[in-house]
Amino acid sequence: MLLLLLASAMNTALAVNEAGKFDQADALRVSQAAIGGAPANYTFLDRQGRPVRLSNYLGKPLLVSFIYTGCFQVCPTTTRSLHEAVQTLQKIVGPDQFNVVSIGFNQPFDSPQALRAFAAQHSINAANWEFLSPHGSIVEPLTRDFGFSYESTAAGIDHVLKVTLLDAQGRIYTQVYGDLLTPEKLGEPLRQLLRGAPLVQASRLSDLVERVRIICTVYDPTTGGYRYDYGLILEIAGGLTFFLAMIWFFASEWISRRRARWQSPTKPAPTVQSPL
């Protein structure tokens, strides 16, 4: 019975995941269409809960990464990758030549407190990098302005892994895709922007589709792809199996003792002989 319930849960999870399958090509078209546009001057809360505007980080190139703090696998990996790339770029072009912001789009969960903890967990304390929490009411127009698409699934939230590069005036210069954000991938468009080169457009959308990874499923290094994570289901099933086994054990012991008590012969009461 337990195996049937587990199989049913796994099949249901897979069905939900397939039904909400993320359309990479459409998300990339939306992302590329945003290049050249200028997002509105939105107001956020920084890690300390202070109101700040997007324009506070302009006047120089700005790298924008969308994350959600509830992601325990790919988002942290991508953020660490971005952190390493930023540290290298600071040495190459200088720490005062660009800014970085990570925006928590999963509201109300990506609060300033959650983002502060996320940044501390990954030891990110650079002066030119801030973590921003938008109000839930602006998440839709904000992500639309940046060409950022996402979709909830049974495994979490799927979205295109990318960093958006804005110029000093706040226009989207290019989108940098992928789960591994190397100094080369970020450094080349950043140097072009600092040199005043024209806006960068992607060459072929089909090539981008092949390179972009979708998050919140589990990366499998043996296949180079992402798979559905059954780990949580199996852990729950294992715990449930142990719990039911313990119930069965104690119930069996109780029944055995009761049965033994019922089946044992009743000893006759001792007789007392009166003296003659």
We report the CATH number of the domain holding residue 174 as: 3.40.30.10
159 in a structural domain: yes
pLDDT averages per 10-residue partition of the chain, 276 residues: 42 39 81 95 97 97 93 80 93 90 96 96 93 97 96 78 94 90 90 81 50 44 41 50 74 78 60 53
Dmax of the chain from CA atoms?
129
Whether 13 is covered by a domain: the verdict is no
Residue 67 is predicted with a pLDDT of 92
Dump the DSSP string for the chain: -HHHHHHHHHHHHHHHHHHT---HHHHHHHHHHTTT------EEE-TTS-EEEGGGG-SS-EEEEEE-TT--SHHHHHHHHHHHHHHHHHHHH-TTS-EEEEEE-STTTS-HHHHHHHHHHTT---TTEEEEEE-GGGHHHHHHHTT--EEEETTEEEEB-EEEEE-TTS-EEEEEESS---HHHHHHHHHHHHTTPPPP--S-HHHHHHHPPB-SSEEETTTTEEE---HHHHHHHHHHHHHHHHHHHHHHHHHHHHHHHHHSPPPPPPP-PPP-
Is residue 219 situated within a structural domain?
A: yes
* Domains in the chain, number: 1
Residue 111 lies in a domain: yes
**Residue 237 within a domain:** no
pLDDT of amino acid 172 = 96
Does the global pTM surpass 0.85? Answer: no
Give the pLDDT confidence score for residue 255 in this predicted structure.
Answer: 82
Please give the pLDDT value at position 237.
Answer: 54
Quick check: is 74 in a domain? Answer: yes
What domain range includes position 84? 19-223
140 located within any domain: yes
Residue 58, domain member (yes or no) = yes
What is residue 174's predicted lDDT score, i.e. its pLDDT? 94
